[in-house]
Structure 1
Amino acid sequence: MTEPWPDDDVILYDGVCIFCSRWIQFVAKRDTDHRFRFTPIQSDYGSRLARHFGIDPADPDTNAVIHGGVAYVRSDAALTVLSTLPGWQWVRVLFAMPKALRNPVYSLIATNRYRIFGKAEACIVPDAGMRARVIE
């Protein structure tokens, strides 16, 4: 069994993925309580977190969120994050859909994210307001 990660409400994401970076901006804008912190998988902290939970930092195929001491990946990660944001609690009903249906859709987007949305040369630098919430 994997030991729990010491930090909570941390979202791990691919920092060079344009789609992933927009996802983080979407969450940060709606997270009015500043509950979540963010770490790109390309950072030292993000790489350690990824390896701890069995995600290959060199070829990330998912984002992850540590919430309530539990690591959620793929569609569970996205739904967990969304369902905690003000006005987005309705997303919880999507947990009723089996993972066997949700995760293939997630994986299809994740596998093709660079081709569809693009890839930056380096991690996108957050604005000053969000900088304090990024763990590197």
Structure 2
Amino acid sequence: MPDSVPDTILFDGVCNLCNGFVQFVIRRDPAGHFRFAALQSDAGRALLLAHGLTPAAVVADPESVLLLSGGQLYSHSAAVLRIAEGLGGVWRVAGLGRVLPAAWRDAAYRFVARHRYRWFGRQESCMLPTPALKTRFL
């Protein structure tokens, strides 16, 4: 993953689980290999449209985390596994999850995504990054 072109994680900005995942990545990515955009933000909507997706369809699908890497958009379990691998260290082991059929991984992903608001709650608005993290958010 080249430092000059950081990967972008698109996430549901009102989802507590998704915001927790973003905080998890930030704590484990001090070099700033990843940047972030809420699906509800102007930047997030523009990235989705640039890849042929409508924001309403993505949030309803249900999608909660997408990864834009090397000009390609990854979704569902593929996005989560690639993000974990990108964190390096022990998190690369998550890549072993690829041995499971994608249909199984994605079914589990969709199950959690469908229930995320009920299980983890939601916020009224997207989180605001701290001044120190503002440059990593689009």
TM-score range, shorter chain: 0.7 to 0.9
Post-superposition shift, 1:96? 1.5
Matches within 5 A, 1:1-136: 8-58=6-56, 60=59, 61-62=62-63, 63-87=65-89, 88-135=91-138
TM-score, normalising length: structure 2: 0.86
Q: Secondary structure at the match of 1:120?
A: coil
Q: Supply the distance in 2 between the matched residues of 1:55 and 1:120 (Cα, whole angstroms).
A: 24
Q: Supply the distance in 1 between the matched residues of 2:6 and 2:101 (Cα, whole angstroms).
A: 26
Q: Supply the distance in 2 between the matched residues of 1:13 and 1:56 (Cα, whole angstroms).
A: 14
Q: Would you identify which runs of 4 or more consecutive aligned residues in structure 1 move more than 3 Å? A: 52-56
Post-superposition shift, 1:15? 0.4
| Count of paired positions | 129
Percent of matched pairs sharing the same residue: 36
Q: Secondary structure at the match of 1:65?
A: strand
Deviates more, 1:32-41 or 1:123-132: 123-132
Unpaired stretches in structure 2, ≥5 consecutive residues? none
TM-score, normalising length: structure 1: 0.87
Residues 107-135 of structure 1: per-residue CA shift (max 9 Å, x gap):
00111111111110000112222221000
More helix by share: 2
Post-superposition shift, 1:53? 3.2
Unpaired stretches in structure 1, ≥5 consecutive residues? 1-6
RMSD of aligned Cα (Å): 1.5
Q: Supply the distance in 1 between the matched residues of 2:31 and 2:22 (Cα, whole angstroms).
A: 15
Q: Residue 8 of structure 1 contacts residue 66 of structure 1 at CA under 8 Å; is this kept in 2?
A: no
Post-superposition shift, 1:89? 1.0
